[in-house]
Amino acid sequence: MKLILASASERRQELLKRITSDFDIIVSDFDEEKVSFQGSCGEYVTKLAKGKAENVANRIGNDAIVIGCDTIVSFKEHVLGKPRNELEAFSMLRLLSGSIHQVYSGVAVIDTKTKNVKIDYVCTDVKFSSISDEEIKSYIATGEPMDKAGAYGIQGFGGVFVEEITGDYYNVVGLPLNKLNKMLKEMGVNL
């Protein structure tokens, strides 16, 4: 059975390669704007992940396992997506400075043959050190924050701001490997 990652994210592709090299990539064109935030981060990310996985599953044959994933940053019940510009990135990082926030990743796994669907999410607490405006500006100048939820990448330059995490590190990067592996096993897929 073919394993398909429904994501263009290089970080998710790199992480999936840590548990298997035998997968294909088919990028989902699911319109994330169709899903509105209703107050539950876990519900929100699982709907997004499921939408991405279903979008790809509906375009392929009946002998594949499709993995969809979405990651958001939440601070005091507010969702921080990818910044639209440098000013928004600055505002997000200033908000996160010296505080604890949550990173949620929703995961959806679809067996196109049996139509079995598993969805779940992981939440990790991340504590940032206090960071100066100059540090934020220097980080933004690297370009790294612009394509990441919450305007930082723990696996890159942004990792220097992270004082502590409670939970799954790989969730913060964008693909909770332990959760994904358990879900695949539940569907009879052993990597």
Expressed in angstroms, the distance from the first to the final Cα of the chain is: 11
183: three-class secondary structure by DSSP: helix
Within 8 A by CB and 6+ apart from 188, the residues are none
83 in Cβ contact with 89 (< 8 Å): yes
Instruction: Report which of 107, 105, 32 is spatially closest to residue 71, judged by C-alpha positions.
Output: 105
Which sequence positions are flagged as catalytic? Answer: 70
Distance CA 163, CA 88 (A): 23
27 in Cβ contact with 149 (< 8 Å): no
For residue 30, give both structure tokens.
């699911």
Which amino acid would we find at residue 44? Y
Residue with structure tokens 């206090």?
Answer: 130
Report H helices in 33-187: 41-57, 86-96, 133-141, 169-173, 177-186
